[in-house]
Amino acid sequence: MPDKANQQVLYFPKEGIMKSVQQFPTPFFVYEEKKLRENCRNLKKTFEKYFPYFQPLYAVKANNNPTILKIIMEEGFGFDCSSESECRMVKKICEGEMKMSGNVNTMKVVSMYTGNYTPVETLKFAKDCGMILNLDDVSNVAMLKEFCGGGGQSAVGDDKSVVGVPETLSFRVNPGIGKGGMESVVTAGPDAKFGVPFEKAAEAYKLAQEAGVKHFGIHMMTGSNVLDEEYFAKVVEKLLEIVADVKNKTGIKIEFLNIGGGFGVAYRPEEKSLDLDKVARLIKETFDKQCAKFGIKAPRLIAEPGRYITADMGFLVGKVVVIKDGYKKFVGIDAASNDMPRPSIYGAYHYVSVMKKGEFGGRVIMVENKKFVSEKSITGDTLTADRVIASSKTEVVSVVGSICENNDQFAKDRELPVCETGDIIVIHNCGGHAFAMGHHYNGKLLHAEYLLQENGELRMIRRAETFEDLYRTTTDFGRTKK
């Protein structure tokens, strides 16, 4: 580990994790409310310093737990949704707060729907929820007048079955360039499936204007987990060129500019955290330069961070259950890649901490016959002081789960404290794109989520799944009737 390791990467709420291990059966996720609110406030405060009317949206796909979303909304965020289920969740959370109007500046809670290859029925649902539609293609304009479920017919008759032309509309534009922490998260450029090619942007806005749209925004999301502060200003520079081009060709004035997300989080101890103030300052300088150059009014700035808000407030907590000396040493834990798939999908790195049994008294609450049994050692036998003292020795191991795929490895060839069965493994940066990407391969269940509240108390915000949950929708084994 480097001499100047990034302390934000190494940090975890040790006392809260110890308390959770004593109270709940592993594996589970712990989310720290204090850190979540700090992240929200830091982003808002930093951008509002340069853009007083800045509007942050949270990318729901990163973590869709309703309790987390409510906290984020309390901190002044709207939402960016990319599926009908996310729209439904946001609608329920924002009930009484969502207000659609002709102008983004008059909305109580600004939320957007940014889909891709979206069915007309989903467009209608998002619009009816009061969300700004952020269209991914020119062809979507014609869809606004189609029947829902009508096979692409022209709209006639019952208007209730038509999406309808909104007063406010945005387009996601592909600038032909992209960047990301790895190839699979680069979301713009010639190979990306997202967005209107920038050469066709003016055409898209003209068609929307002719259809009856009155207010316009523009959106660009070119990559994910970017740690280069100068990159975001380059995105804005390109966006404002397109804003000027649209105005020159159509007379349309873009009222809001959404730079997307992509704000990076340091996962490795040797990585530097993103300097958010530098990001905001460079964007402001670019705004001033480009707006003066093209003679355009500065649009309202919107951004939609996901992982930047929730990644480092979350931790996946598991227990060592098997240690295998094979061709190399494997530490098997009770969590698996179905809980947090990023390493198996992307080869992503996550920092790992080890809590020796002595750090939490060697005692955890275990589950037997679905009842909590306290005062029982991890191994079930008597614990002595010399067996629970934390070891200072390290060894190179791979931390793995029990999925029948060799990519089910949370950490490969990592130097860690010597582990014993019963030790606790804490995997960092699991608050974003972790549980939300979970799956049921191998018939695995998804596990509980707990909120470490600001008062230090733990609260369950999603229970663990049961085997009954897994088969509930099947016709022969579940409850669904044929």
For 117-185, the DSSP string reads: S--HHHHHHHHHTTPEEEESSTHHHHHTTBBTTSTTPBP-S-GGGB----SEEEEEEE-S----SSGGG
Looking at domain 312-470, what is its CATH homologous superfamily? Answer: Lyase, Ornithine Decarboxylase; Chain A, domain 1 (2.40.37.10)
User: Token digits for 369?
Assistant: 């016959």
Which range has the top average pLDDT, 198-202, 317-321, 386-390? 317-321
pLDDT in the model for residue 147 = 56
Give the tens place of pLDDT for each residue, 294-352. 999 999 999 999 999 999 999 999 999 999 999 999 999 999 999 999 999 999 999 99
Q: Where does 149-291 show beta strands of DSSP type E?
A: 168-174, 196-197, 215-219, 254-258
Give the separation between CA 159 and CA 150, rounded to whole angstroms: 12
Pairwise pLDDT comparison (110 vs 226), residue with the higher score: 226
Yes or no: say if 305 and 59 are a contact pair by the CB < 8 Å rule.
yes
| Neighbour-count burial for 407-425, b at 16+ CB within 10 Å, e otherwise | ebbbbeebebbbbbebbbb
User: Token digits for 154?
Assistant: 């022209």
Q: Where are the domains of the chain?
A: 49-305, 312-470
Give the separation between CA 83 and CA 131, rounded to whole angstroms: 12
pLDDT in the model for residue 467 = 94
Split at pLDDT 50, 70, 90, the class of 360 is: low
pLDDT in the model for residue 224 = 85
Quick check: 354 pLDDT over 80? yes
Question: The domain at 49-305 falls in which architecture?
Answer: Alpha-Beta Barrel (3.20)
Give the tens place of pLDDT for each residue, 13-70. 999 999 999 999 999 999 999 999 999 999 999 999 999 999 999 999 999 999 999 9
Whole-model pTM: value is 0.87
Other residues' Cβ atoms within 10 Å of the Cβ of residue 192: 17
Give the separation between CA 251 and CA 257, rounded to whole angstroms: 17
